C-alpha cells in the first residue's frame, strides 16, 4: 500500500496559452469603386456606340409611319406594331423566332469576341457610364470624388451631392418615360405624366422603372454585372482558347516594378509592366486584369487604353494588355474559323432563313369562326336547316381593306348577313351571320365539312384564305 505522503504528492500544472486564430471575415462590405477617366481608341469607340444606340432608344418611339407610331408594343390591345408589320397573339411564333435568333447571335459574338456585349452595348454598362459622366462633371475626377466622400457634410459637399442625384433621378425618369412609350403611345405618356393625368398603373410603372434605373446605374453598378447578371455565369461555356478577350501578356510584363523612363528594364530584371495600377483604377468592375481571365471582366477595353497610354509615355511597345486569345499568348496559332463558330453561323443562317420565309408567307388577314353553342342547328320558317356563326375578321395590314366572304362544301346555300365588309387597318371586325340550306342537300348527314372563304377585294393584291368549319343537321 502507498503511504499517506505519496498520496499527497501534487502534480505540477503548467499554464498553456492557447492562441485563438484570427476571426475570418466571411462577408466583406462592398468597397465603392471610383472609376478613373481614360481616353483611347476603344473608349472612343465605346462612347460613339453608346451615343448612337442611346439616341436610337430615345428617338424610335417618336417615329411615325402611316399616321401611327412606328414601333408600339400595345399589350392592352394585344397588338405589336413594327413599321408596316402588325403582330397579333397568333403571330407570337415570329417573336419567338426573333428572340431565339438574337440569343444565337449573342452566342456567336461571344465565342468570337468574348463579352463585348457587356462592355459596349449592355444597357447596364451604358447607363452606368452616363451616371459616371454626371459624377465627373459635378464632383470632379476619381481622386476628387474620393476626397469629397471622405469629408464631413458641408455646403460644398451637400450641393454637389444634391445636384448629382437630381441629375440621376431626372435622367432615370426620362429613361422610364421613353421605355413606357414603347408600350403606350409615347405622346400620351409624356403629356399625361407631366399634366398629372396618368392612370395609377402607368404612373406606377414609370416610377418603378425610374427608381430601378436610378438604383442600378447609380448605386449597384458592378454588383449587377458580378452577382445578378446570368450572362456573366454561363459565358465561359462559349469561350475557347481562340476567343478574343482582354488579356495581360504576363511573359512580357513580368516582373513588375517601377523604374524611370531612362532605365533599361532588362538590366533591372523587370518586364514592361511598371506596376502603376492604372488598369485597376479605370476598370468599372474593379478587377486587376493582370490576375488572368476573370468572369467579372466585361471586355470594355478601358484597361487596354490606359496601359497603351502608359506604354506610349514609357516608349515601350503597345499591347501589354490587349484583345488577344489564349493560344496567341502561348505562342500558338490562332484559329479564327473553327467548328463551334461555324456551328453557330450555320444555325443563325438557318433560323434567319426560316424567319424570313415565315414573314413572307404570313397571311395579311386572319379569320376565326365561332359557332352558336346554344343551338347547333335549327329549322327556319322556310323549312331550311340553319346554322349560326360569328366571324372574327382580323386585318393584319396597315391599310383599310374590303373583303368578300363565301362558303364552300355544300351546294345551294343561303348566306344571311353581310358578304362584303370593310375592316379598318390593324383591327378586328365581328360579323354575326348564318347559313341555311335545304335538308335534301345534306343527304341525311348529321355533320358536313364546310369551309369559309375570305378574299381581298383589290386590283393590286391577291389574298385568299380558307378556314374549315362544320355544318350540323337536325337529328
Closest CA to 305 of 43, 129, 35: 43
Tell me the CATH number at 427: 2.60.40.10
Axis crossing angle, helix 142-150 with helix 155-180, rounded to the nearest 10? 120
301 and 389 share one domain = no
Asked whether residue 48 is assigned to any structural domain, the reply reads: no
Please give the residue range of the domain that contains residue 270.
Answer: 240-329
319 and 371 share one domain = no
Asked whether residue 2 is assigned to any structural domain, the reply reads: no
384 and 455 share one domain = yes
Cα(first)–Cα(last) distance of the chain, in Å?
Answer: 119
Alpha-carbon distance of 429 to 420, in angstroms, equals 12
Exposed / middle / buried, residue 411 (Cβ in 10 Å: 0-12, 13-18, 19+) = exposed
Contact 9, 262 (CB under 8 A): no
How would you classify residue 119: left for phi > 0, otherwise alpha for psi between -120 and 50, otherwise beta? alpha
325 and 383 share one domain = no
Exposed / middle / buried, residue 387 (Cβ in 10 Å: 0-12, 13-18, 19+) = buried
388 and 324 share one domain = no
Cα 255 off chain centre by:
42
Contact 390, 432 (CB under 8 A): yes
374 and 466 share one domain = yes
Residue 303 makes CB contacts below 8 A (sequence gap 6+) with 246, 278, 279, 280, 282, 283, 289, 321
Asked whether residue 424 is assigned to any structural domain, the reply reads: yes
Alpha-carbon distance of 62 to 185, in angstroms, equals 9
Alpha-carbon distance of 247 to 290, in angstroms, equals 8
Asked whether residue 111 is assigned to any structural domain, the reply reads: no
Q: Which of 283, 304, 329 is the last residue of a domain?
A: 329
Contact 380, 386 (CB under 8 A): yes
Alpha-carbon distance of 425 to 22, in angstroms, equals 74
Look-up of cell digits 451615343: 51
Alpha-carbon distance of 96 to 84, in angstroms, equals 19
Please report, in tens digits, the pLDDT of each residue of the chain (475 residues total). Answer: 455 555 555 555 555 444 444 444 444 456 789 999 999 999 999 999 999 999 999 999 999 988 889 999 988 888 888 887 888 887 878 888 888 899 889 989 999 998 899 999 999 999 999 999 999 999 999 999 999 999 999 999 999 999 999 999 999 999 999 999 999 999 999 999 999 999 999 999 999 999 999 999 999 998 888 888 888 778 778 888 999 999 999 999 999 999 998 899 988 999 999 999 999 999 999 999 999 888 889 999 999 999 999 999 999 999 999 999 999 999 999 998 889 899 999 999 999 998 888 888 888 889 999 998 888 899 988 889 999 999 999 998 888 899 999 999 998 899 999 999 999 988 899 999 999 999 988 888 889 999 999 999 887 778 889 999 999 998 7
- DSSP 3-state assignment of 40? coil
Alpha-carbon distance of 242 to 275, in angstroms, equals 28
277 and 325 share one domain = yes
How would you classify residue 83: left for phi > 0, otherwise alpha for psi between -120 and 50, otherwise beta? left
Residue 140 makes CB contacts below 8 A (sequence gap 6+) with 148
Say how many domains are in the chain: 2
393 and 449 share one domain = yes
Asked whether residue 98 is assigned to any structural domain, the reply reads: no
Asked whether residue 369 is assigned to any structural domain, the reply reads: yes
Alpha-carbon distance of 283 to 298, in angstroms, equals 9
Contact 322, 305 (CB under 8 A): no
Partners of 454 in the beta sheet?
A: 405, 465
249 and 305 share one domain = yes
Alpha-carbon distance of 97 to 92, in angstroms, equals 9
Closest CA to 430 of 392, 403, 461, 456: 392
Q: Which of 281, 304, 329 is the last residue of a domain?
A: 329
Asked whether residue 172 is assigned to any structural domain, the reply reads: no
pLDDT of 312: 94
Q: How many CB atoms lie within 10 A of CB 12?
A: 4
Q: Which of 310, 329, 348 is the last residue of a domain?
A: 329
Asked whether residue 194 is assigned to any structural domain, the reply reads: no
The pTM is what? 0.80
324 and 369 share one domain = no
Partners of 322 in the beta sheet?
A: 247
Q: Which three cell numbers stand for residue 316?
A: 515601350
Q: Alpha helices of 214-301 — where are they, by DSSP H?
A: 222-223, 231-234, 250-253, 278-281
Amino acid at each position: 500500500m502507498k503511504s499517506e505522503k505519496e498520496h499527497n504528492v501534487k502534480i505540477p500544472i503548467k499554464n498553456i496559452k492557447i492562441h485563438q486564430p484570427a476571426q475570418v471575415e466571411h462577408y466583406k462590405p462592398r468597397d465603392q469603386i471610383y472609376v478613373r477617366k481614360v481616353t483611347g481608341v476603344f473608349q472612343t469607340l465605346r462612347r460613339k456606340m453608346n451615343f448612337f444606340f442611346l439616341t436610337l432608344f430615345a428617338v424610335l418611339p417618336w417615329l411615325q409611319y402611316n399616321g401611327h407610331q412606328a414601333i408600339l408594343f400595345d399589350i392592352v390591345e394585344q397588338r405589336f406594331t413594327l413599321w408596316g408589320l402588325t403582330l397579333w397573339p397568333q403571330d407570337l411564333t415570329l417573336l419567338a423566332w426573333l428572340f431565339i435568333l438574337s440569343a444565337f447571335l449573342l452566342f456567336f459574338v461571344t465565342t468570337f469576341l468574348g463579352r463585348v456585349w457587356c462592355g459596349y452595348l449592355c444597357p447596364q454598362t451604358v447607363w452606368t457610364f452616363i451616371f459616371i459622366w454626371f459624377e465627373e462633371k459635378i464632383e470632379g475626377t476619381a481622386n476628387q470624388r474620393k476626397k469629397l466622400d471622405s469629408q464631413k457634410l458641408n455646403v460644398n459637399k451637400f450641393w454637389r451631392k444634391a445636384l448629382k442625384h437630381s441629375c440621376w433621378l431626372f435622367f432615370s425618369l426620362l429613361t422610364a418615360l421613353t421605355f413606357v412609350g414603347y408600350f403606350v403611345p409615347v405622346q400620351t405618356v409624356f403629356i399625361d405624366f407631366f399634366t398629372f393625368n396618368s392612370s395609377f398603373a402607368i404612373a406606377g410603372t414609370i416610377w418603378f422603372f425610374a427608381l430601378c434605373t436610378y438604383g442600378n446605374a447609380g448605386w449597384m453598378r458592378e454588383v449587377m454585372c458580378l452577382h445578378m447578371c446570368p450572362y456573366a455565369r454561363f459565358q465561359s461555356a462559349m469561350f475557347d482558347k481562340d476567343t478574343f478577350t482582354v488579356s495581360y501578356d504576363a511573359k512580357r510584363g513580368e516582373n513588375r516594378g517601377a523604374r524611370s523612363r531612362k532605365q533599361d528594364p532588362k538590366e533591372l530584371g523587370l518586364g514592361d509592366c511598371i506596376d502603376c495600377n492604372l488598369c485597376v483604377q479605370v476598370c468599372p468592375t474593379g478587377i486587376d486584369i493582370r490576375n488572368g481571365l476573370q468572369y467579372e471582366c466585361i471586355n470594355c477595353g478601358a484597361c487596354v487604353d490606359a496601359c497603351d497610354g502608359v506604354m506610349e509615355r514609357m516608349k515601350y511597345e503597345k499591347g501589354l494588355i490587349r484583345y488577344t486569345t489564349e493560344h496567341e499568348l502561348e505562342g500558338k496559332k490562332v484559329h479564327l474559323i473553327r467548328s463551334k463558330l461555324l456551328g453557330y453561323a450555320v444555325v443563325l443562317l438557318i433560323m434567319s432563313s426560316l424567319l424570313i420565309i415565315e414573314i413572307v408567307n404570313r397571311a395579311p388577314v386572319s379569320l376565326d369562326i365561332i359557332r352558336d353553342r346554344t343551338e347547333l342547328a335549327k329549322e327556319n320558317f322556310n323549312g331550311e336547316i340553319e346554322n349560326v356563326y360569328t366571324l372574327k375578321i382580323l386585318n393584319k395590314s396597315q391599310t383599310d381593306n374590303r373583303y368578300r366572304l363565301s362558303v364552300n362544301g355544300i351546294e345551294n346555300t343561303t348566306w344571311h348577313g353581310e358578304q362584303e365588309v370593310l375592316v379598318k387597318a390593324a383591327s378586328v371586325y365581328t360579323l354575326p351571320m348564318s347559313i341555311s340550306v335545304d335538308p335534301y342537300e345534306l343527304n341525311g348527314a348529321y355533320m358536313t365539312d364546310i369551309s369559309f372563304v375570305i378574299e381581298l377585294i383589290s386590283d393590286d393584291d391577291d389574298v385568299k384564305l380558307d378556314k374549315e368549319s362544320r355544318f350540323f343537321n337536325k337529328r
